A and B are shown apart, each in its own frame.
Chain A
């Protein structure tokens, strides 16, 4: 791990506080922590839902090139806004606005640069099916690490509210400049009320682990 102290602070906040089917924020007055860990992409953040539609938080992100020669360390303040939600009897669809502002450091340039990371996420889900698409810009002076991902999956069966539900999710994502590959990762997802974990192995045979928790 090449996290900066500020990154560790974010991770510490996450772990200290608690020991996307889901949206990138919880319900009003809740805290949400999220982590996404793999060799070339490690991300952790925590946010607080100040209204039913707005959340603010802090996050840390580590990016590394496929050849392992270049890396980026990002620390940012985040803002999440639920732009639109459609609730129907058996489904829910959302449009999210995501934004970050902070600094980025790298091993191939000196000092820290101001980074902005606006993005959008669309998702649709039922109790058995899930699909989402995310596009996010990661821009700083002389840097463009724009990011895009699509996810789709299904649950093996329906469960009652208090039971654990297993899902199979496949994610494809790209990270501009640092990687020429499309990373594809099939993951097993388990959801039990406030706990959400995913684990899988990508097409580069790298292990990935994600989690989310609302508290």
Chain B
């Protein structure tokens, strides 16, 4: 009886762990951030235009700007879609040039940690 109970409990626990990991895996995969490398971004007073433009988008959850490494990261809300061309155009409207842009499965916070780790 006890052995059967322990086996059942183990099975339930394993399934629960599998489900939790699986769900978190799906959530992780849903994170989308547009990461751009930007030329000319040397001053916070000027670069704030980029941040304001990005934050004004309804799709945006978080924005990260790094002047040292010339990186702009725009994390999207779950289920939202935003084209890299839109981000590129907004950065251009703010007065800068995008040299590289990509969609990455990381949060803005993770990009911030990675970029700062390169100091």
Q: How far is the CA of A127 from the CA of B101 in the complex (A)?
A: 22
Q: How far is the CA of A125 from the CA of B92 in the complex (A)?
A: 18
Q: Which of B18-26, B60-68, B77-85 contacts A (4 or more CB under 8 A)?
A: B60-68
Q: How far is the CA of A82 from the CA of B92 in the complex (A)?
A: 14
Asked if B15 is at the interface (CB within 8 A of a chain A CB), the reply is no
Asked if B9 is at the interface (CB within 8 A of a chain A CB), the reply is no
Asked if A13 is at the interface (CB within 8 A of a chain B CB), the reply is no
Q: How far is the CA of A212 from the CA of B48 in the complex (A)?
A: 13
Contact B66 A125 (CB under 8 A): no
Interface size class of A (residues with CB under 8 A): 20 to 34
Chain A residue nearest to B97 (CB atoms) is: A87
Partner of B39, one of A89, A126, A193: A89
Q: How many residues of B contact A (CB 8 A)?
A: 27
Asked if B29 is at the interface (CB within 8 A of a chain A CB), the reply is no
Chain B residue nearest to A22 (CB atoms) is: B45
Q: How far is the CA of A125 from the CA of B40 in the complex (A)?
A: 9
**Interface-centre pick from B43, B66, B94, B99 (highest chain A CB count, 10 A):** B43
Given the interface contacts A30-B49, A214-B49, does A160 sit within 8 Å of B42 by beta carbon? no
Contact B46 A52 (CB under 8 A): no
Partner of A90, one of B42, B47, B94: B42
Binding site for B on A (CB under 8 A): 21-23, 26-28, 30, 52, 82, 85-92, 125-127, 158-162, 165, 191-196, 212, 214
Extra pairs beyond A52-B93, A52-B94 (19, CB < 8 Å): A21-B46, A27-B94, A27-B95, A28-B94, A52-B95, A82-B95, A85-B40, A87-B97, A92-B43, A127-B68, A159-B67, A161-B51, A161-B66, A161-B67, A162-B44, A193-B48, A194-B48, A196-B45, A214-B49
